[in-house]
Amino acid sequence: MSSFRDIGVAVAGTGFIGPVHVEALQRLGVHVTGILGSTPEKSEAACARLGLPRAYVSYDALLSDSAVAAVHLAIPNVLHYDYARRALASGKHVMCEKPLAMHAQEAHTLVAQAKATGLHAGVCYNIRFYPLNLEARARRKQMGRVYSVVGRYVQDWLLYDTDYNWRVLASEGGILRAVADIGTHWMDLVVSVTGLEVEAVFADLRTVHKVRQRPVGEIQTFAGSGEVARAPVGIGTDDTGCVLFRFKGGAQGVLWVSQVTAGRKNTLHYEIAAARGALAWNSEQPNELWIGHRDRPSEVLVRDPALLSDLARGYAHYPGGHNEGFPDSFKGCFQAFYTAISSGTSPDAVQYPTFAEGAHEIVLCDAILQSHREERWVAV
Ligand SMILES: NC(=O)c1ccc[n+]([C@@H]2O[C@H](COP(=O)([O-])OP(=O)(O)OC[C@H]3O[C@@H](n4cnc5c(N)ncnc54)[C@H](O)[C@@H]3O)[C@@H](O)[C@H]2O)c1
């Protein structure tokens, strides 16, 4: 097994999540070769801020750097397909932010390309890697048949019609927004925890603000836009929605997503009910897993590597009582990715979320959109 230090990684994207990738990679000991922004000036500024060796002037310059073995794509959704395709064609492993692509056809093309090249290709469903979500996954078999999975993913950063980001435009982020941007994190997570497969969906979505006041100029994700010049723009993407799920084997599910719930900054919650117990987790108290019992008092497991399964312990980086959170989940996701690369694990036997799993989320989104439009159950 080679050291993470021997693997050169370049990051594309200097906005909200690109620097989160850089930080997580640095904490893992991976060699970050440099960063690319939307302009050479942005590359330079991010490079200086993050203390990196190189500011790439273009994506071609990044791809032709022989020190780069893997590329992280932390750029707007509309660029994922083309940038991932070119990285694989240049012989680089790819860790792409979600969603993998704008359309299922593009996503399937990327899955096939990754398979043909034998390169590692992951999608950044980082929430799986909170240690207590891995613990829930490790415990699922002891709990017997799953009856139901319910939950929500809610935020408030798009509450006002003056809140704006590239995601609100279908042309930049995709036709589905709240469902695709945050709902897919929930769906990926509950499927990875329970092992269930979605059989059919029924969805009802809503655009609360059909017109938003777009600031003139670029706004970074989660940045308040304050007093700036604005122009009205029509919006067709979903602010809220509910989705019913039928899983193979008979389990039921329900998800509520919203980006307009005041005070809910970033709340992902799930509750899984099974034959021999229940499990619940909330991203705003990520170091606690509720374990429900019928015949004895229910428990709250506080994250402590000494009390976790082998799977979860491998991704718990600090002792009990020393809280881990959002940045650590990226570290865990990339740990799985670079462990696979450095140990020579076959792309078919990995722990990170794969392009195939990323493509499946897009298939689910297509079924959800169709269900909403046709007001009926749609088989997946
Ligand atoms: N896994 C997660 O929890 C998570 C969280 C946030 C965002 N994301 C995903 O990350 C991606 C980026 O989201 P964000 O919130 O950081 O957006 P953002 O708008 O804050 O940043 C996007 C960055 O991409 C840069 N960019 C635009 N065009 C580019 C180009 N041609 N070449 C290089 N850089 C370019 C922009 O300058 C900006 O710095 C999205 O796909 C989003 O879905 C994932």
Which is the closest atom of ligand 1 to the Cα of 223?
Answer: 20
Cα 40 to ligand 1 centroid, rounded to whole Å: 16
**84 and 220 both lie in a single domain:** no
pLDDT in tens, 102-126: 999 999 999 999 999 999 999 999 9
What's the whole-number mean pLDDT along residues 17-31? 97
Average pLDDT, stretch 162-175?
Answer: 94
Q: Is residue 47 part of a domain?
A: yes
Q: Same structural domain for residues 315 and 275?
A: yes
Whether residue 318 lies inside any domain: the answer is yes
Where among 306, 324, 342 does a domain terminate?
A: 324
Mean pLDDT of 296-308: 98
* Residue-range definition of the domain harbouring residue 286: 131-324
Q: Are residues 117 and 46 in the same domain?
A: yes
User: What confidence tens digit (pLDDT) does each residue in 192-212 have?
Assistant: 999 999 999 999 999 999 999
CB-ligand 1 contact for 97 (6 Å cutoff)? yes
Does 162 share its domain with 265?
yes
Tell me which of 16, 124, 218 to substitute to probe ligand 1's pocket, judged by most ligand atoms within 8 Å of the beta carbon: 16
Residue 373 lies in a domain: no
Please name the residue whose Cα sits nearest to atom 37 of ligand 1. Answer: 38
Q: What is the 3-state secondary structure (H, E, C) of 182-250?
A: HHHHHHHHHHHHHCCCEEEEEEEEECCCCEEEEECCCCCCCCCCCCCCEEEEECCCCCEEEEEEEECCC
Q: What is the CATH number of the domain that holds 216?
A: 3.30.360.10
Examine residue 344 and state whether it is found in any structural domain, yes or no.
no
Q: Is 124 in the pocket of ligand 1 (CB under 6 A)?
A: yes
pLDDT tens for residues 249-274? 999 999 999 999 999 999 999 999 99
Ligand 1 touching residue 10 (CB < 6 A) = no
Q: In this structure, are residues 179 and 365 in contact, taking their beta carbons and an 8 Å threshold?
A: yes
pLDDT in tens, 304-362: 999 999 999 999 999 999 999 999 999 999 999 999 999 988 888 779 999 999 999 99
Looking at 79, 102, 126, which one is the last position of a domain?
126
| Nearest-atom index, ligand 1, CA of 219 | 19
- The phi, psi pair for 309, rounded to 5°, reads -65, 165
Q: Is residue 377 part of a domain?
A: no
Whether 311 and 272 map to the same domain: the answer is yes
Q: Per DSSP, which regions of the chain are E strands?
A: 8-12, 31-36, 54-55, 70-73, 93-96, 121-123, 146-154, 198-206, 211-215, 230-234, 240-247, 252-258, 267-274, 277-282, 288-292, 299-302, 378-379
Count how many domains the chain has.
2
173 lines ligand 1 (CB under 6 A): no
Q: Same domain for 77 and 208?
A: no
Name the DSSP class of 294. Answer: S
User: Is residue 76 within 6 Å of ligand 1 at its C-beta?
Assistant: yes
**Nearest protein Cα to ligand 1, atom 27:** 38
Residue 136 domain flag: yes
In this predicted structure, what is the pLDDT of residue 221?
66
Q: Please tell me whether residues 67 and 214 are part of one structural domain.
A: no
Q: Which of 100, 126, 152 is the last residue of a domain?
A: 126
Counting from 1 in the atom list of ligand 1, the atom nearest the Cα of 127 is 3
Residues with Cβ within 8 Å of 67's Cβ and at least 6 positions away in sequence, in order, are: 8, 33
On whether residue 75 sits in a domain, the answer given is: yes
Q: Is there a single domain that holds both residue 36 and residue 53?
A: yes
- The number of the ligand 1 atom at minimal distance from the alpha carbon of 330 is 1
**Residue 81 located in a structural domain:** yes
